[in-house]
Structures are given as C-alpha cells and as structure tokens.
Structure 1
Amino acid sequence: MVFWAADFLGSVKGLGAGSAATLSAGFVLGMAAGRAAAGPVVRRGGRPDRLLALAAAVGLGGFAVLWASPAPVAVAGLVVTGLGVALLYPVILGQALAARPSEPARAAARCALASGVAIGVAPLVLGALADLTTLRAAALVAPVLLLVLLARCGRRLRNR
C-alpha cells in the first residue's frame, strides 16, 4: 500500500501528482494511529484469531472505500485500511512468541525477517503484476490477502 498508493490515487482516482503523493500518507497515518491504539485493543480484544479477523475486516472495509469511492473519500478509505492492517504485525508477533516461549529472540527474528522480505519483495511483485496487467488489477492483491487471512481466522474460530 505504501509504495503504490500515490500512483493509485493519481492514475485511478485522478488526483494530481503532488496531491496524490501527499494524501497517500493517509495509509501511514492510519497505521500509526492503529499501532498507537494496539496495546489497549489487544488487551481488550481477546483471542488473537478474533483480533486478526477484526483487523482484516477493517482493512477490507477501508480498501472497499478506497476502491469504490471518488478521490476525497478514497483517501479516508486509505486511512481506514491503515488502521486495520496496523494490528496484524503486533498480533502475529505475539502469536509467534507464544508458540516458541523458550526461544523468543528466534521467534521475533523470524518475524522481522519475514516482514523485511515481504516489504522488500512486495513492491517488485506488484510492479511486475501491474506491468503485466494494470495497476488497478495489481492492487487487488491486498484485499485478496486480507480475505485469505479472514477466512483462516474464521475457520480457526469456528473450530474452537
């Protein structure tokens, strides 16, 4: 989202280059607000699968607004998407640490490595996909991944 939001706002939503670049920060602002609220939300939110499902649903809702709305409202969707995905890393990190209580440094290192690889590879993959199709089509990778996470969490919640 961080890497292609400005181009999406410009080429798909019709904003000028300067406005699109400036307003693409809405995603980062949403993530910052979500991370700031993560502590209390995680303490009150209960089970990790429930929190991940909630975060994915909020992210999907924000993406739907971003996708379907005109430019000014689309930026609000970008902020809401940031709010939703903000909880994903802290909750998944907590799950990794809980899964390996005897090796918390190793679990944290693997999470950091995985996120670093994702952050480094995702723009290349999305760029290549956009070159093969369109930016609008490539952007659909984000909600597809959120839907997969939501389905996984839903299945785990039903099985418990």
Structure 2
Amino acid sequence: MPRLTHDRITWLTYAQLGVWGFFLYGFGPVVPLLRDEQDTSAAVASLHSTSLAVGALIGGFLFPVLARRIGRGRTLWLSLAGIAVGAAALSILRPLPATLTAVVVAATFGTMAVCGVNTALTEHHRAAAPAAISEANAACAGMGILAPIVIGLAVGAGIGWRPALAVEVGLIALVALAAVVFRVRLPQGTTAAAAAGSRSGRLPRAYWIAWALMGLTGSIEVCLSLWSADVLRSHAGMSPGGASAALSSIVGGMFLGRLVGGRIALRVAPVPLLLAALTVSMVGFLVFWASPIGWIAVGGLTILGLGNAMHYPLAISIALAAAQGQADRAAGYSSYSMAVGFGIAPVVLGWVADGVGPHLAFLILPGFIVVAALLVLRLGRLLRPHPTAPSPATPARV
C-alpha cells in the first residue's frame, strides 16, 4: 500500500491550491453583486463566467510553455502572483470591460496554479499521488466554504464585497511568507531538454479518455452549481434565499469527500474508486431530483457532493499517470476539457430547461454519469497490466 508523506512541499502545494479556491468559490456570490453595481442584465453578468472559461483555455496553453522555460516551481509562484493581480483588479475596478478582464487574468493564472500543483504532487508522491491530489482539492473546497462566508459577512456589515475579495491578496502573501520562513523550495520538474524531447510525442489513448472524463464530470459540477437552486425552488418549494444557501451543501460534501477519499485512495485503485464515486453521485442525484421536500433534496445534494468530490482528483491522477513523461503538457491540455464542459453543458441544460422546465432538464445529468462510468470501464481495460508472454527460450510451465 502506498504511503502519503506530508512533508513541507506537500503542505505548501495544498496551501497554493487553497488560496486559488478562495477566489474561485468566492467568485460565484460576487457575480450577482456585480450585476447590481453595473446595472446589467443576467446575460451580460454571466459573461464573467465565460471569462473563467477563456482564462482556463489561456492558462492551459501557457502552463507547459512556462514550465518548460522557467521550471514548474517558478511557474507556480508566477501563477499565484497573477491570481493576486487579478483579484486586486476585480476588487478595485468597476467598469464591465475592466472586471471581465480581471476575471480572465485571475482564471488564466489560477488554471496554471491548478496544473502546477497537480503535476508537482504527481511527481513528488508517485503511487500516492491520487491521495495527495484529493487532499489538495479538499483544501481548495475548504476555502470554498470559507470564501462565501467572508463575503457575506462583509456585505452584511456594510463594507461591501470588494474588501472581502481583496483578502485573496493577503492570503497569497501569507503563503509566500511561509515558504520563505520554512525554506520550502518547490521542485522545478522536467528539465527543458527533456521536455523538448517529449513535447512532440503523442499522448496515449488512456490520457484522452481521462480527458473526456474530466469534461463530463466537470459538466456535472457546473450544472449543479448554476441550476440546482432553480430545481430546489420549483420542485422542492424552497425560498430563493434558502435555495441559494443550500448550494453550500454541495461544497461541504465535496470537502468531506475529498478529505476522506484521500485516505481511501491509498488502499483502493483509482478506477474502482472512481466507479464507486460515480455510483454515490447517481444515488445523490436520485434523492435530490425525486424529493419534493426541501431538506431531503438538500441531503441529496450533500450526497452528490460526496460522490463528485473524487471525480476530478482521480481523473486527473489517471490522466497524468498515463501521460508517460509529458505531465506538464498533459496538465495544460486537461484545462481545455474543463473549459469545454463549463462552457457547453450549462448552455445545453438551460436551452432544454426553457422548453421543459429545470426539473425535467436535470435528467441530462444521470446521462452524463452513465457515460462517465462507461469511460471509466474503458480506462480500466486499457490500464489493466497485460500478462508477460513466456520467452521462447524458456518453456511455459504445464
């Protein structure tokens, strides 16, 4: 059984992903507040979400280039500096073009930070990488619970959301200070010469199946984030405020699932654990979708969060392990799948919801789960070790 060692490099990468989580999960509550400030329509305000997808595409392209040129460790610190710039700009600037640009900047460098943390943990922990990546994403989700609370308290106190979001800059400064005080140096990763020799190689089929899997599971997450409150209002009879607050149950479930799942990942292989996680997600969806009672539907969302918790950590672990020495390029490409899922799935679900209502439209999600499970089964067959054929010089035993 692999052993996960929590050394200084591990804790530092957890903190680096955690500070990105503060911005990412704090961004959701900020969008409607920006809409009120800028006096725009919901469609125009949603361009801020589109900016996240644009930043993910740019960051996915830039990460392997920068990791090859300046090293993975320096790229990670550059990423945190870029997140700080984007968060500060969003906290200060008010015109719509400026806030859209700020989100693109933050998302670009945030995506690079995610890629850097995933590849650093994969290289540093090897067989224990799925557990380490799961715990790192638990830190991200944990900050995701904290960020909306900080923003809500700031708005309630009358100081507005901008000072609360600017806390991101202070958090990044604290992480950098801790790295200096405790003298933690991140590994630089693949050398430029080695990376140059591998970047023209083709990524294997197992990687691309894992790539598609990340797009599907990312689609499930974003659809739940954007549309489940509507289902809670229309089907479970919850108030708008209660339905919006109930979304924290998904993040809470993800935090707990990733924390516990990291331990389980040390004992269970990624493919069967991912199938189990998809099964839990399906059970949670059925409870959420079928119940006309608010607290039961919210319980279903919590179960969904528990299952969804392990989708991304396990899929990216499989993808990077299958990349065969091209981890930086593979991590960069993985952000494209998430951007595609985030950009297309909510639009499709919204289009269907316009015709049949959000409750029936949500039946798209179990379809995503079933297709994801089929992809995991295919991965299991591809990654299964093949028995070694007996050598002609050594007769096989009868």
Given that 1:57 and 1:84 are in contact with CA atoms closer than 8 Å, whether structure 2 keeps it comes out as yes
Q: CA deviation at 1:142?
A: 1.2
Q: What is the aligned partner in structure 2 of residue 59 from structure 1? A: 281
Matches of 1:68 and 1:83, distance apart in 2: 18
Q: What percentage of residue pairs aligned between the two structures are identical?
A: 37
Cα distance, 1:146–1:108 mapped onto 2, change above 3 Å: same
Matches of 2:332 and 2:261, distance apart in 1: 21
Matches of 1:18 and 1:10, distance apart in 2: 9
Letter in 2 for 1:30: G
Q: CA deviation at 1:2?
A: 0.8
Q: What is the aligned partner in structure 2 of residue 32 from structure 1? A: 255
SS in structure 1 of the partner of residue 225 of structure 2? coil
Cα distance, 1:102–1:152 mapped onto 2, change above 3 Å: closer
SS in structure 2 of the partner of residue 2 of structure 1? helix
Match of 2:362 among 116, 120, 139: 139
Q: What is the aligned partner in structure 1 of residue 332 from structure 2? A: 109
Given that 1:9 and 1:24 are in contact with CA atoms closer than 8 Å, whether structure 2 keeps it comes out as no
Q: What is the aligned partner in structure 2 of residue 90 from structure 1? A: 313
Matches within 5 A, 1:2-21: 2-21=225-244
Cα distance, 1:37–1:112 mapped onto 2, change above 3 Å: farther
Structure 1 segments unaligned to the other structure (5+ residues) = none
The aligned length equals 159
Select between 95-104 and 114-123 the one with higher mean Cα deviation: 114-123
TM-score w.r.t. length of structure 2: 0.38
Q: CA deviation at 1:154?
A: 4.5
Letter in 2 for 1:31: M
1:81-132 residue CA offsets vs partner (Å, 9 max, x unmatched):
0110111111110111111121101111121221122123222221111112
Matches of 2:238 and 2:325, distance apart in 1: 51
Matches of 1:156 and 1:121, distance apart in 2: 24
SS in structure 2 of the partner of residue 37 of structure 1? helix
Select between 71-80 and 124-133 the one with higher mean Cα deviation: 124-133
Given that 2:234 and 2:359 are in contact with CA atoms closer than 8 Å, whether structure 1 keeps it comes out as no
Letter in 1 for 2:339: G
Q: Which runs of 4+ in 1 moved over 3 A?
A: 151-160
Matches of 1:141 and 1:44, distance apart in 2: 33
Structure 2 segments unaligned to the other structure (5+ residues) = 1-223, 385-398
Given that 1:2 and 1:28 are in contact with CA atoms closer than 8 Å, whether structure 2 keeps it comes out as no
Letter in 1 for 2:240: A
- Root mean square deviation of aligned Cα: 1.9
Q: CA deviation at 1:158?
A: 7.8
Q: CA deviation at 1:155?
A: 6.1
Matches of 1:84 and 1:42, distance apart in 2: 14
Q: CA deviation at 1:25?
A: 1.8
SS in structure 2 of the partner of residue 3 of structure 1? helix
Matches of 1:100 and 1:65, distance apart in 2: 37
Given that 2:320 and 2:330 are in contact with CA atoms closer than 8 Å, whether structure 1 keeps it comes out as yes
Letter in 2 for 1:65: V
Letter in 1 for 2:278: A
Matches of 1:76 and 1:34, distance apart in 2: 14
Match of 2:373 among 140, 146, 150: 150
Letter in 1 for 2:285: F
Letter in 2 for 1:52: L
Matches of 2:350 and 2:236, distance apart in 1: 18
Letter in 2 for 1:87: M
TM-score w.r.t. length of structure 1: 0.89
Matches of 1:156 and 1:132, distance apart in 2: 36
Cα distance, 1:158–1:113 mapped onto 2, change above 3 Å: closer
Matches of 1:111 and 1:157, distance apart in 2: 19
Letter in 1 for 2:363: L
Q: What is the aligned partner in structure 2 of residue 73 from structure 1? A: 296
